[in-house]
Amino acid sequence: MKKRRIRIRRIAITAVLLAVLAYTIKIHTFTFYHDAALWSHFDAEQIQPLFDFVIVRADGTDASIEFTDSTDPGRIYSDTVRRNQIKMVCLDRGKWYFVRETGKISVRWIHVRIR
């Protein structure tokens, strides 16, 4: 009887931890889609990595992405992400980066600021 209660507690704790992880991933993932008509009134999207990296995924088609440091415009990271490919991009934690993209991409583990 006691072993059964311990097993049920472990399952409940595991379920709660998985739910918290799934929610955290959901709120720190943002999809960028370059549409000139939709985004013409915005200056730029900026991201701030939560960690020393971000995870980039191209949805549907090939996409090119460019991260530019907002304080030092000379520091640029650019790359091409193939269809349904996932890349880990190393960026400095705590800095804001401008995002320029072609295509539809999802970026994970970020804060987003749209001006």
**What would the pLDDT profile of 42-98 be if each residue is shown by its tens digit?**
556 789 999 999 999 988 788 888 898 888 888 888 889 998 889 999 999 989 998
- pTM, 2 dp: 0.74
Query: Which CATH topology does 31-114 take?
Result: Hypothetical Protein Tm1070; Chain: A (2.60.290)
CB distance 35 to 101 below 8 Å: no
For the beta sheet containing 45-49, the strands, ordered from the edge strand earlier in sequence to the opposite edge, are 76-81, 63-69, 97-102, 45-49, 110-114
CB distance 89 to 67 below 8 Å: yes
CB distance 41 to 114 below 8 Å: no
Question: E strand or H helix at 24, and its extent?
Answer: helix 2-27
Task: Show me where the domains of the chain are located.
Answer: 31-114
pLDDT in tens, 69-80: 888 888 888 889
